[in-house]
Chains A and B, each alone.
Chain A
Amino acid sequence: MLPLTTYILLADDDKDDREDFMEAFKSIRMNTEVQMFRDGIELMEYLNEVSLPLPQLLFLDLNMPKKSGLECLTEIKKIERLKNLTVVIYSTSSSEKDIEDTFLKGANIYIKKPAHLTVLKKTLSHVLSINWQYQTSGLNRDNFLFQL
Chain B
Amino acid sequence: MVYYLKYDVQAICKRIVNEQMSKSGLKYSLLNTHELAFDQIITEESLELLNRGFNKLGIEIVSSKKSMLVQKIKEAIIGFVNLEDKIVLSKTSSYLSATLNYSYRYLSAIFSEVTYTTIENYIILQKIERAKGMIAGGEFSFTEIAWKLNYSSVAHFSTQFKNTTGLTPSSFKRIINQRRRNMLENIIS
Point out residues on A near B: beta carbons under 8 Å. 1-2, 29-30, 100, 103-104, 106, 110, 125, 128-130, 132-133, 136-140, 142-143, 145-148
Q: Do A143 and B166 touch (CB < 8 A)? A: no
Q: Determine the distance from Cα of A106 to Cα of B186 in the docked complex, in whole angstroms.
A: 14
Contact with A along B111-148 (1 / 0, CB 8 A): 00011110000100110010011001000000000000
Is B94 part of the binding interface, using a Cβ–Cβ cutoff of 8 Å?
no
Return A5 CB to nearest CB of chain B, in Å: 14
Q: Does any Cβ of A come within 8 Å of B42's Cβ?
A: no
Contact of B182 with A by CB under 8 A: yes
A to B contact number (C-beta, < 8 Å): 63
Known contacts A1-B67, A104-B178, A110-B166; decide if A143 and B117 are in contact (CB<8 Å): no
> Which residue of A has the minimal Cβ distance to B162?
A147
**B contacts with A: majority SS:** helix
Contact for B172 among A110, A125, A145, CB less than 8 A: A145
| Further contacts, 18 of them, CB under 8 A, given A132-B116, A146-B167, A147-B167 | A2-B114, A30-B116, A100-B174, A103-B179, A104-B178, A104-B182, A110-B166, A125-B116, A128-B116, A133-B125, A137-B78, A138-B9, A142-B176, A143-B136, A145-B167, A145-B175, A147-B165, A148-B166
Contact A143 B129 (CB under 8 A): yes
Closest chain-B Cβ to A50's Cβ sits at a distance in Å of: 17
Which range holds the interface residue count of chain B? 20 to 34
Q: Complex: how many Å from CA A30 to CA B176?
A: 31
Complex Cα gap A1–B60 (Å): 8
Least distance between A57 CB and chain B CB atoms (Å):
14
> What separation, in Å, do the CA atoms of A2 and B115 have in the docked complex?
7
Pick the residue among B74, B133, B178, B179 that contacts A137 (CB under 8 A).
B74
Q: Please pick, from B70, B132, B172, the residue contacting A1 in the complex, using a CB distance under 8 A.
A: B70
Q: Is B62 an interface residue (CB 8 A)?
A: yes
B101 at the interface (CB under 8 A from A): no
B133 touches A140 (CB 8 A): yes
How far apart are A36's CB and chain B's nearest CB, in angstroms? Answer: 24
Quick one: which of B116, B132, B166, B179 contacts A104, CB cutoff 8 A? B179
**Residue ID in chain B nearest A140 by CB atoms:** B133
